[in-house]
Structure 1
Amino acid sequence: MPGLETLALSVVAGHGARSEDAARSGWSHLLEHMVFKGAGARSAREIVEAIEAEGGSINAATGYERTSFQVRALRGGLNLGLAVISDLMLRPTLDPADLAREKQVVAQEIAEAADAPDDLVFELAQTAAFEGQPLGRPILGAPASIAAADPARLEDWRAGLYAPADLVVSAAGAVDVIELLALADRDFGHSPQGRLLSEPEAATFVGGARPMAKALEQANLAILLPAGGVRDPDYFTLRLLAEILGGGMASRLFQEAREKRGLAYAIDAYAETYADTGVLGIFAGCAARDAVELAQVTAGELAGLTRGVEAAELSRAKAQLKASMFMSRESALARAEAAAGQVLLFGRVLAPGELAAQIDAVQPADIARLAGTILGPRRAAVAVLGPRPALKAAEAFQRALAG
Structure 2
Amino acid sequence: MTGPRVHRLANGVRVVCDPLPGWQTVALSVVAGRGARFEDAAHSGWSHLLEHMVFKGAGGRSAKQIVEVIEAEGGHINAATGYERTSFQVRALKHGLDLGSSVISDLVLRPTMDAADLAREKQVVGQEIAEAADTPDDLVFELAQAAAFAGQPLGRPILGTVQSIKAATPQTLGAWRSALYAPETLVVSAAGAVDEDELLRLAERDFGAAAGEGLAAAEPAAFAGGTSTVAKRLEQANLVFLLPAVGVKDPDYFALRLLAEILGGGMASRLFQEAREARGLAYAIDAYSETYADTGILGVFAGCDAKDAGELAEVTAQQIRLLADPVGDVELSRGKAQLKGSMFMGRESALARAEQAAGQVLLFGETLDPEAVAAEVDTVTPGQIADLVAKILAPARSATAILGPKASLPAAERFEQALFGV
Q: Same fold (TM over 0.5)?
A: yes
- State the match for 2:37 in structure 1: 18
Cα displacement (A) at 1:80 = 0.4
- State the match for 1:171 in structure 2: 190
Q: Are 1:324 and 2:329 an aligned pair?
A: no
In 1, Cα distance between equivalents of 2:212 and 2:262: 46
1:309-345 Cα distance to aligned partner (Å, 9 max, x none): 1110000000000000000010000000000000000
Runs of 4+ deviating beyond 4 Å: none
In 1, Cα distance between equivalents of 2:398 and 2:48: 28
In 1, Cα distance between equivalents of 2:336 and 2:22: 29
In 1, Cα distance between equivalents of 2:42 and 2:209: 32
What amino acid sits opposite 1:181 in the alignment? L
Q: Are 1:212 and 2:230 an aligned pair?
A: yes
Cα displacement (A) at 1:3 = 2.2
1:215-248 Cα distance to aligned partner (Å, 9 max, x none): 1000000011000100000000000000000000
Q: Please state whether the residue corresponding to 1:265 is helix, strand or coil.
A: strand
Aligned counterpart in structure 1 of residue 260 of structure 2, from 227, 230, 242: 242
- State the match for 1:115 in structure 2: 134
What amino acid sits opposite 1:65 in the alignment? E
In 1, Cα distance between equivalents of 2:248 and 2:326: 23
Q: Are 1:269 and 2:284 an aligned pair?
A: no
Q: Please state whether the residue corresponding to 2:21 is helix, strand or coil.
A: coil
- State the match for 2:52 in structure 1: 33
Residue pairs, 1:285-300, within 5 angstroms: 285-300=303-318
Q: Please state whether the residue corresponding to 2:310 is helix, strand or coil.
A: helix
In 2, Cα distance between equivalents of 1:393 and 1:149: 40
Q: Are 1:229 and 2:229 an aligned pair?
A: no
The total of aligned residue pairs comes to 402
Residue pairs, 1:4-403, within 5 angstroms: 4-191=23-210, 193-403=211-421
What amino acid sits opposite 1:246 in the alignment? G
Cα displacement (A) at 1:160 = 0.3
1:3-58 Cα distance to aligned partner (Å, 9 max, x none): 21001000000000000000000000000000000001111111111101100010
Q: Please state whether the residue corresponding to 1:170 is helix, strand or coil.
A: strand
Q: Please state whether the residue corresponding to 1:190 is helix, strand or coil.
A: coil
Cα displacement (A) at 1:194 = 1.1
In 1, Cα distance between equivalents of 2:164 and 2:416: 33
In 1, Cα distance between equivalents of 2:68 and 2:256: 44
In 1, Cα distance between equivalents of 2:32 and 2:190: 14
In 1, Cα distance between equivalents of 2:21 and 2:305: 50
1:34-90 Cα distance to aligned partner (Å, 9 max, x none): 000000111111111110110001000000000000000001111000000000000
1:376-401 Cα distance to aligned partner (Å, 9 max, x none): 11110000000000000001111112
In 1, Cα distance between equivalents of 2:148 and 2:245: 11
In 1, Cα distance between equivalents of 2:224 and 2:214: 29
What amino acid sits opposite 1:374 in the alignment? I
In 2, Cα distance between equivalents of 1:359 and 1:139: 31
In 1, Cα distance between equivalents of 2:393 and 2:286: 18
In 1, Cα distance between equivalents of 2:233 and 2:199: 53
CA RMSD of aligned residues (A): 0.6
1:158-214 Cα distance to aligned partner (Å, 9 max, x none): 0000112210000111111110011001111122x2122100000000001101001
What amino acid sits opposite 2:287 in the alignment? A
In 2, Cα distance between equivalents of 1:145 and 1:214: 26
In 2, Cα distance between equivalents of 1:165 and 1:259: 50
In 1, Cα distance between equivalents of 2:213 and 2:123: 30
In 1, Cα distance between equivalents of 2:394 and 2:330: 26
Cα displacement (A) at 1:375 = 0.9
1:102-123 Cα distance to aligned partner (Å, 9 max, x none): 0000000000000111100000
In 2, Cα distance between equivalents of 1:376 and 1:256: 25
Unaligned runs of 5+ in 2: 1-19
In 2, Cα distance between equivalents of 1:92 and 1:155: 9
In 2, Cα distance between equivalents of 1:369 and 1:221: 26
TM-score by length of 2: 0.95
Percentage of matched positions with identical amino acids: 72
What amino acid sits opposite 2:207 in the alignment? F
In 2, Cα distance between equivalents of 1:109 and 1:294: 31
In 1, Cα distance between equivalents of 2:184 and 2:308: 52
